[in-house]
Structure 1
């Protein structure tokens, strides 16, 4: 079983060390997710499968995910993060693949958000109100009324939201989100509440869409897990192991497991890889499965790039 996983790429599953991205809207304290971040600055994002993340286990230990791309058969297709906003993120938009390439970028950025924590009455801004287009957005940026043109969606723990490319969106304080997206950091900032950061109005207005497929996604019960979302670029599932035991987890394409509560180990031919809170275990290719073993129970996500 695990031998098959290794045969696809020559690399067994391995653990990654999160990389912490400093942001003006972030936090200094990321407990209980992380005891320390290695910086005294505000951290807004923990990149779990970013190109800068360092391999912690197996023969590739000490190398970055970007540097082992050749052994994995190419760039890892998913960028998985945990977002920790203590203040409002900018109002922003991402291009789709065609738009990104026309603007000289490698690919677009379609993403989704799984709500890990949410205060009472928490919301996210997702999409424009009916009848709002680029002209109205441009005028609202000038007048400082951008937020009033957006749909504000109430969220609770366990919600999944699809953020289609072209969707104008923003995240505020009061939530912690697991974000799964195409491996891309192309972001066009439309509005930033007067903070002295660069805006990308020309490109942002060019790629925004008045209407997209963005919104909440209803979960689907599957055989042994919950399907949270299934889209062109990613599928995200939730697994719950209530007590001591083990579960078989299959992969149809390259992906990762992310620890969300409890803990356990992923059994591989290179030995056990710890599955712990806020960290990713990368499965380099599909066509195989792994066993997750726990002595205390575990909650984890499986994020996969379909092939």
Structure 2
């Protein structure tokens, strides 16, 4: 199965923006655009023999071709987005796998944010301040003062912030974030600034963990790549491409078996080239899926390419 580009899906959010330029050539005609889904189940394949199919269909029809023999199911494992917040998002929390499955969902939602850009003073909330109790969380929800209990982090371009399931969190305006998460859109809103959207107080309190591993993650610089984050559900790397780089060299030593990966152009343009298939162009902020059964190829730097590689992982198994 050959690599293919994925068409982005532009998703309206009340806290979004009306004009995504220069990031994407997209202007809102109705609700502001808050999220650009790069691997959503409803995103469509843009190149190759499966053009026009949704990503969800591809995973259901060809799970092992996409993810390899260790694939636990036919579901897409990761949802990757670019977030454009012009207003504060709700203060929220996501369930872990156990709680999500209790309510009939296949998985919970651990995520991370990689800052593609950030204005001076940009912040996010990732967790609660030390010593905050559950009674204080409840009082903050009831009194509209929950923000006072949040642990705020300044955001600069290039920062990686880990947000494991159970972390109370929020995003404030001023940054453009590449979000990688388990493919689950369960969000329990705790406080929403009076916007009138549904809150999920009981479930959010059940999901909240007072202490989590959330926070900034320092990059691990290796000879041939930089590991931005490695967690039980995904690994995110920044891959230098000096003119061109072979597909074999993209894989880490510990990747004993071929599996799914995604190639994202944080800046610049690239091209996936092989004698076995037609070239696949990688535009700025574009996404190419590399199935487990992909033939060998080369990734070419067509101008200023800043390549991010994202690979799903399954707890208890290798990448």
Normalised by the length of structure 2, the TM-score is 0.88
Superposition pairs of residues 140-289 of structure 1, within 5 angstroms: 140-241=140-241, 245-249=243-247, 250-251=250-251, 252=255, 253-268=259-274, 269-285=276-292
Greater alpha carbon shift after TM alignment, 117-126 vs 246-255:
246-255
Partners of 2:304 and 2:157 lie apart in 1 by 19
1:71 aligns with 2:62: yes
The aligned counterpart of 2:70 is none
Determine if contact 1:46/1:82 at 8 Å carries over to the other structure: yes
Q: Compute the displacement of 1:71 (Å).
A: 1.6
Give matches, 1:111-130, under 5 Å: 111-130=111-130
Deviation of 1:287 (Å): 8.7
Indicate yes or no: 2:26 matched with 1:20.
Answer: no
Q: 1:150, CA displacement in angstroms?
A: 0.4
Question: When the two structures are aligned, how many residues end up with a matched partner?
Answer: 295
C-alpha contact 2:21 2:27 (8 A) present in aligned 1: no
- 215-224 or 233-242, which moves further after superposition? 233-242
Separation in 2 of the partners of 1:88 and 1:131? 25
Residue number among 25, 50, 68 corresponding to 1:60 in the alignment: 50
Distance 2:133 2:53 in 1: 45
The 2-side partners of 1:231 and 1:290 are apart by 27
SS in structure 2 opposite 1:204?
helix
> What SS does the aligned partner of 2:57 have?
coil
TM-score (norm. length: structure 1) = 0.92
Query: For 1:55, what is the secondary structure of its paired residue?
Result: coil
Residue 44 of structure 1 aligns with which residue? 34
Q: Secondary structure of the residue that 2:113 maps to in structure 1?
A: strand
1:295 to 282, 294, 302: 302
Aligned-residue offset at 1:223: 2.6
Q: Secondary structure of 1:136's match? A: helix
Query: What is the rounded CA distance, in whole Å, between the counterparts of 2:31 and 2:7 in structure 1?
Result: 19
RMSD, aligned α-carbons: 1.6
Which is worse superposed, 286-295 or 297-306? 286-295
Classify 1:182/1:146 alpha carbon distance in 2 versus 1 (closer, same or farther; 3 Å).
Answer: same
* Runs of 4+ with >4 A deviation: 286-289
C-alpha distance in structure 2 between counterparts of 1:286 and 1:13, whole Å: 9
Task: Tell me if structure 2 keeps the 8 A contact 1:26–1:86.
Answer: yes
Contact 1:77 1:254 in 2 (8 A): no
2:135 and 2:295 map into 1 onto residues whose CA distance is 49
With 51-60 and 276-285 compared, the bigger mean Cα shift is at 276-285
